[in-house]
Structures are given as C-alpha cells and as structure tokens.
Amino acid sequence: MAKAVHMEVVQKMTKRFFSILACAILVTFSWFAPARAADNTDDLEYGAALVVEIMDLMHEYHLSNPDAAVLTQGAIQGLLDSLEDPYADYFSDEELKVFIDSLNGDLVGVGIEVMAGEQYPYVSNVIPGTPAERSGIKACDIIVAVDGQNIAGWSLDDVVNKIRGTIGSKVILTIQREDNVLKVGLKRADIHVPSVNHEMLAGKTGYIHIASFGSSTSQEFDDAMRSLESAGMESLIIDLRNNGGGYLDAAVDILGNFVTEDTLAVRMVDGQGKREILTLDKTTADAPPMVVIVNELTASASELLAGALQDYKIAALVGNVTYGKGVVQNIIPLSSSGALKLTVSKYLTPMGHDIDKVGLIPDHYVLVQELQREVAWQILHPEDVPDLTLDLSTGRAVLNGRALENALDIEKNNSAYAMPLRQVLEAMLYQVFWQDGLIKVFSDHEEVWSIKPSVGGLGDRSGVFVKDGVSYLSENILRQLNIDISKEKNKITLTRLR
C-alpha cells in the first residue's frame, strides 16, 4: 500500500480522505535497537562485494556518469523490492522524522481540517488553540484562494501543500462565509492533531473515534473515557473506520481498559516461534455494552484492537470486512543514518485467527457508511424501534430523529413509490447481500427473504428492480419484511415492527 501523507487537512473516503495521517497507512510497528553488521557469512560478503563493485563500475564507466547517491538509492530500492513486501521501506533521517511526527499528529500548519466541496474545499473543523482558531476561522468557511491564487478545482492534496509550509512563515487564506469574502493572514505553527475525539450521543451512549495509534493515543483515549464516564455513559461506540494502524503498544494499552490484567491481547509469530503480549493492569471497571465500527480501511493495529474485543465478546463489530493486515513492522535505525521499516512478524487474534489478507468479519454488516454509526447506536438501544422518515419531494431522510446528510433517490409512479433497497433495509437493521444474482436479506443471522431483481422500473411485478446500478424496492415488499408504512402528505415514515 502506498504511503499516505499525514497533513492537517482531512480527506476521507471519496470526498473525505484523511490527510491528518502522515504514516505509511496500515502500519503496526515498534522499535528495534540500531542495526549491527550481519554475520560474516560467505554469501552475504560475496553479495555485498558484488553490489559495491557494480556500483563502482557504473559510476566510473557509464555514459551518464551517475551520481553515487542515485546509485545508492537504487541499490537500496532493489533490495527492498526483492522482498516483495509492500510494507518494507527505507527512511532518510528527514523522512523518518516526518513519518514519526505525522503518525503522532505533530505537523506544521495553521490548524484546520478541510473537506472537498463542489468547487472549493471548506473547513470541516478548526483545531483548538491554533492560529486558525485565534484568527476567527470557522467550520463551514469556504476557502476560495491561498496567497491570492484561486484554487477552484484543485485536489485536496494540492490545497494542503499550498497551505502548509515552514514554521513561522505566513499564508493568506481568502474565505467565503455566506455572502462575505474575508482575507485572513495566518502564521504557520507547530500543530498537534489529536488522534482521539469523543462526544456523548443520545441515550447516554459514548462515542470515541480513533484516527490512528500514535504515541499519545492511549492517554487521549483514557481522557475521553474519563470524560464520558463522568457524564454518565452507559454504553460505548468505538469508531475505527479509516484507521490504518500505528503503534501496537497503543492498541494493547487501550484494550486494557476493558479486560483484566494479564489478558492475552495478541499472539505474535516470527522466525523464532510464538510469543504472547498481555495487557497491563489499568484498574478499570467492567466494560460497558459496546459496538466497534469498522470498514475496509480499518487495518493493522486497529484490527488488533477490534479483533480482541470481538474474540472476547466484549463488543460487536458493525460495518464492513476490514482491510486484513496481520503483519507487524519494526523500525530499525541504521548505524550510518536513516532507518529500515521491515516486516518482522505476523499476529493472530487472541483466539488464534489469522486475519492477514482476510480481514475481520463484522457481526452486523452495514455497507452504507452514513448509516453505520446510527445502526451501531440502534444495536445498543434495542428498546427503540428504528424509524425512517422520508421527504418524498427532496429525498431527505431522518433516521431515529437524526437527519441524514445524503438524500435518498426515490422513484415514483402515480401514487406508488420505490426506495433504495440497501439504504432503507440497512436503516431498518436488516443485512443485505448479493449472491449469484440474488438479493438476500438477513435479520440477525437468519435469511428472511431473497429475490432476483429485474432491470426496469417501478411497474415491475416483483416489486424489486435495478435502475442505473441501484436496487429499489416497492412498498409491498416493505410490508412483507414487517416494516410499517405511514403516509402523511409528502412524507413516508417507515417503522420496523417487533
């Protein structure tokens, strides 16, 4: 997997890809002692001498008179490529510092997170205590120019690179706020981006999002737990979506909040055999009812944490199958300068599951990203039946009293309506799968309905059809799935009956 650059500006999934992380994503690693010379075996001595001789001859005789540094970098890259390990890498001293600082959320910038808009990016979050906050920049401000240069249509990476710079240097952002256009001068500074954010949801459900596992993540998580517990938290959602990993020790330490001392956290397997990593004593109370949200970019250390919580039946996993990175890298400082990042072991979950290139299987599949947190909350509150209200003129939807960001595309034919199948059924706590041309619907782990959809429109007798790549279902199918339909003027409310 290519390295993803950790920036102060956030990008996530299609329109929102995190740039706060500057680690090579999907990394779980620790530190080794500085590298020492290898054993003087004949093969290594011969190989090293051969490489040096070839480099000397290239430097002396090749028409292009290649630079020694270029040859050295090529030799290093060739060695790395020979491993066929996508996670192996070499860092210069400068690259290593950028890598570690970014993993820990330390960067130089102005303190904003942005998301892609239709033409211009907009501020999604202002980090407290930063130049941006002190200058009055607000969430939802639209950035139209940087240093006087219009950025319409720029990629988020290009915007990030334009805003960032050296510490103490200045940048001018042109901001559109409603009908006003403002120019804000900012001095770039050291910024620490927290890897943990939390809030209290309805029903005394705590919510903690972990973006990565850096050096301060465990302490930030402990602080979030104390804050939520003091506010009366009765259940907990941990969000590990798009978390590509980080320090293994941080994941193990967070697990210690929910298990007793000396609980097996992970099984490590390397060339020397197996070893076990245990949790430390954190004198914690019993774990609250818990759900962990995961997706296809949940990887490495985040899979370690989610897998252990699932193995011990402490938490249910909601979302999609995780990335599947069950190998561990160590960063090995070199005696000359720089460092190597090498895969040194694989890990298994406490119950011995090998998730490498397989991933963790969620207990409850929810593929619509916007619904994942809502479904996680619903699972923790089974006493509240899910209800979804749709505005038929706009497609706007409200699930369990909370407005969804994206509108639903509703098909209409006279007085009959058809709604997007996956969005509606997942909101009603069903799981939806495609298999051999069939749509199969599950309630918990029991298949309750299946059908082969037609290609056409609302007039299809089956009540299920595919149009422009989207599956729709009609009102009569909803009733078959024990979903009550209530119509009032231009609105439909769907409620799953017990």
Q: CA–CA separation, 50 vs 330, rounded Å?
A: 28
Strand partners, 164: none
- Give yes or no for a contact between 371 and 408, defined as CB atoms under 8 angstroms apart: no
- Give yes or no for a contact between 181 and 144, defined as CB atoms under 8 angstroms apart: yes
Q: Is residue 387 flagged as an active site residue? A: no
- Give yes or no for a contact between 381 and 373, defined as CB atoms under 8 angstroms apart: no
- Give yes or no for a contact between 309 and 363, defined as CB atoms under 8 angstroms apart: no
Between 301-311 and 248-255, two packed helices, what is the crossing angle to 10 degrees?
30
Q: Is residue 313 flagged as an active site residue? A: no
Q: CA–CA separation, 145 vs 410, rounded Å?
A: 37
Tell me 12's DSSP state. B
Q: CA–CA separation, 477 vs 32, rounded Å?
A: 59
DSSP-derived pairing of the beta strands 264-270 and 273-278: antiparallel
263, 262, 211: which is closest to 238 by C-alpha?
211
Q: CA–CA separation, 440 vs 203, rounded Å?
A: 32
Choosing from 235, 300, 471, 474, the catalytic residue is 300
What do you get for the CA distance between the two ends of the chain, in Å? 45
Choosing from 311, 354, 356, 409, the catalytic residue is 311
Q: CA–CA separation, 401 vs 251, rounded Å?
A: 34
Tell me 403's DSSP state. E
Q: Is residue 462 flagged as an active site residue? A: no
Non-local (6+) Cβ contacts of 61 within 8 A are none
Strands (E), 326-482: 327-333, 339-348, 364-365, 387-391, 397-399, 402-403, 411-413, 416-420, 430-435, 438-443, 446-451, 454-455, 464-467, 470-474
Choosing from 12, 325, 345, 387, the catalytic residue is 325
DSSP-derived pairing of the beta strands 327-333 and 142-146: unpaired
- Give yes or no for a contact between 370 and 350, defined as CB atoms under 8 angstroms apart: no
Active site residues: 300, 311, 325
